[in-house]
Structure formats: C-alpha cells, structure tokens
Structure 1
Amino acid sequence: MLSVAFLGLGAIGLPMARRLASSFPLAVWNRTRSKTAELEAAGAVRVAQSPQDCARDADVVITCLSTSADVESLLGGEQGLLRGLKSGSVLVDCTSGDPATSRRIAARLAEQGVEFLDAPVSGGVTGAREGKLTVMYGGDVRVLDRVRPVFAAFAGKVVHCGAIGTGD
C-alpha cells in the first residue's frame, strides 16, 4: 500500500486529506498547527513537525498551498521537503500555480530521483468533500499510473494536459 504525505490543510486541502486518511497511511503538515487538530483527533494520521518529517516515509507527497512560490519555499532549508523526499517518490502539487515555477520544482526534484506532477484541482470545497474533484495534471503519464489510486480518493476525473507546467 502506498504511504501518503499531505501538506496544506486549507479549505480544499483538509477535505482532500480527510478522504486520503480513510484509504492510506497518511502524514500531514500545515504551517498553522491548529489546522491539523481535526485529523489528529480522529487518530487517522501522523502529524508531522516539519515538511521534511512529513515526507520522510511517503511514496506520494501532495502539496495544496496558495501559490507555487509557497511550494517552492518548502523545498529548501534544514527541515525542507528536499531533505525528506526519498528517491523514487512522487511529489504531486495540487496548487493552482505558475508553470515556470512548476518546471523549476520538477528540475530540483529530478536531481534527487523524485518525480513531479503539477496537478491543480477544480471543484471547490464541495467537490473535495465528496471526492469529486477534477485533477488537471502536467507530467509523465507513467507517473500518473503510480499515483492513480491516490487521486481516486478525492477526484472523480483526471485529465492529462501535457508536459510539466501544463496542468497549472
């Protein structure tokens, strides 16, 4: 079974994480720790202390943040994602972001043997709650095949848009 990490428990991210927690071993992290309380109280997740800690055992790491710059900022630093991501894992960025930043992120991850999909979601809070989001992703179709079971937890439709950056 795939292990999943989720960073960004906002209006869309929290219901996505809730759905993932019922199907996968899940670690979560959010800048504002109080946003992890609901999931922690349910006992279905491991609450991580940092992005590095969140990603350390995950096969699939999902970010759902406000901007691509926010995602890029989580990569570096002593406790950043790059220190936790393992070779062979996949980072799926569900942020509605910037194509150029997504391509930069993908290049940095590739240096560590980590795959990347830019995969923003559409459908709002209701779609996230009901597991009916639409994922529009950019990246390698073979990588999608590896994460398809993860997408199935929160998405009703997955659309391939092309190379990295085209999902944004």
Structure 2
Amino acid sequence: MKDKIIGWIGTGLMGNPMVKHLLNAGYTVHVHNRTKEKAAELIELGCTWFDTPAALAANTDVIVTIIGAPKDVEACYFGAEGIFTGLKAGSILVDMTTTKPSLAVKIAGAAVAKGAEFIDAPVSGGQLGAINGNLSIMIGGSREVVDTVYPMFEAFGKNIVYQGAAGAGQHAKMCNQITIAGTLTGVCEGLIYGLKAGLNLDTMLESISKGAAGCWSLDVLAPKIVKGDYSAGFSVDNFVKDLSIGLEEAEAMKLSLPGLALVKQLYITVQGMGKGASGNQALYLALEKLSNMDQ
C-alpha cells in the first residue's frame, strides 16, 4: 500500500491530523483544499499541493475526500475541475465525508464507468479521535478493494468495520449520528438536573459515567460542558447537516424518527443563538435556556 500515492482533499479539523498520521506512517501524500492556507502546515511537512481536484486525481493512486456538505462532495467529484475529469483508470476513491448514502451509490457508479473503484468510509470520533489516531471507520464498497486500502485506514483508525456495499458506510454513520443525538440530549438534561439539585457535577459524573449511563458523550463532552468549554471538535453546523441527512433518508424509507426530528429543532435553536460554529455539546445552552423559561 505504501507504494501508492495518496491524494487527500480536505485538510480541516479532521483531515489535517489524519494526513499527519499518514506521513508519520511513511506514505506519500498530495493535498488539495478549497483554501490553500489551511494546507500550509501539511505542505511544510512534505505534502505536494495541487490546485484542483482534477489535477490531484491525475497524479495519485488513491484519492481521499473529507470535506463539507453533500453539495460540496458532489462538486468535488463531478464539477468542471472535479475528480472525475482527471481520474485515472485503476484509481481508488475513498469518501470519508459524512454525506448521503444515495450520493455514495452515485459516485460508485461513476467510478466504475471510469474504470476506478469507490469506497464510502465516514468516521466517528471527532477531532480528538483524528488527533489520537483512534477513529471509528464505517466502510461500504467492494470488500476486495477495502482490503487493499485497509493499511491506510489503520494509520488513523482503530475500530475499522466493513458494513457492506457502497452506501452502507454512510447508512452506518447515520445510525451513529442518530444515537449521539439522543444520547447527548440525555447528557445535557442530566447535567441541568444535577446543577438544579445542587450536586457537584464532577462528582456526579464520576458516579454515573461508570454505570449503565456510561458513553463517549458522557466521558468526553460532559466534562467540557461543566467547564463551559464549547469549542468545536465537531460543530453544531455540521451536526445539523448530518441530522438533516438522517431525516431525509428516514423519510425515503418511510420511517418516522420523532426523537431525531426534535433534536434537530433543538440544534437549530443553538444556531439561532449564534453558536453554529461551537461544538455540538453547545446543545446544553439551548436546553438550559428552555429549562429556565418559567423563571
């Protein structure tokens, strides 16, 4: 695998540390980002810059994308200077963005038409997971192709699970986001209740985090909330995007997910408070505001 040149598009909060892990593992990495300044550190570390996705695709063997919303992914692959205009036959495309499962299927079909392969591999674990190299990776696509790039995933992931055909990785990520949405609501309301009851929140968390309530949000995000730290490891704006995808996919499958719909509205409230760029633990601020409305 290390004889393959990796092209990486998206060098933000997640992409930057993931590329660093690849460099540390001995991979050759070419990069592109909408804003070149955000790739400056990686260029200094030895990555080669390309001005367009098309140019990068023409000079690499494995192209990884981890960017923004579905519209950004679509433009990156299908735009006038997108990946498919420069793609070489035999290349492997890997989209690690959280996006629509239907878009993953569309990209997979276009890749086959170009003599290439496609894998959807969204991740969970946030910026901290990317920095520590222990992301959870949910993968869809050909199992044979996945096995080919598995060593690359091992550079920044620890829980790497094959889910099925193209789009299955994205569906698994939606399950992840739906679960986090409900769990984090409970975490925030538990903290609000504990504060109102006069508990020492750190002491309370020490107890409940080791019992049946234990979860990543309780371990990582609850202490941040207690400290008033709403910095973004994963932003409210991105989470609203993900929850919107989940609701769209659920509607297409004739599923009603009322809990997810409610949490999305709560996060829109957080955006209305001007906290869209904050971490998704800023949900606490909206719930705290609602809980005190009668005072």
Matched, 1:31 2:34: yes
In the alignment, structure 2 segments of 5+ residues that lack a partner are 171-295
SS of the residue aligned with 1:167?
helix
Structure having the higher Rg:
2
Which position in structure 2 is the counterpart of 1:41? 44
Distance 2:147 2:78 in 1: 28
- What residue identity is the alignment partner of 2:36? R
1:159 corresponding residue in structure 2: 161
Q: Is the 8 A contact 1:69 1:101 kept in 2?
A: no
The CA RMSD measured in Å over matched residues stands at: 1.2
Contact 1:60 1:92 in 2 (8 A): yes
1:7–1:64: 8 Å Cα contact kept in structure 2? yes
Runs of 4+ in structure 1 displaced over 3 angstroms? none
How far off is 1:165 after superposition?
A: 0.7
Aligned-partner Cα distance in 2 for 1:108–1:52: 15
Matched, 1:70 2:43: no
Asked if 1:149 is matched to 2:151, the reply is yes
SS of match in other structure, 2:145: helix
8 Å contact kept, 1:6–1:61: yes
Amino acid in the other structure paired with 1:138: G
Q: Which amino acid aligns with 2:56?
A: C
Please give the TM-score of this superposition, normalised by the length of structure 2. Answer: 0.55
The structure in which a higher percent of residues are helix is 2
Unaligned 5+ segments in structure 1 are none
TM-score using structure 1 length: 0.94
Q: Which has the higher strand share?
A: 1
Give distance in 1, aligned partners of 2:4 and 2:92.
Answer: 11
> Counterpart of 1:71 in 2: which secondary structure?
helix
Structure 1 CA distance, aligned partners of 2:154 and 2:86? Answer: 25
Q: Which amino acid aligns with 1:39?
A: L
> In structure 1, the residue corresponding to 2:169 is in which secondary structure?
coil
> How many corresponding residue pairs?
167
% of aligned pairs identical?
39
Contact 1:68 1:102 in 2 (8 A): no
What amino acid is aligned across from residue 133 of structure 1 in structure 2? Answer: L
Distance, in Å, in 2 between the alignment partners of 1:71 and 1:93 is 8
Displacement after TM superposition at 1:53 (Å) = 1.5
Question: What is the 5 A alignment of 1:75-90?
Answer: 75-90=77-92
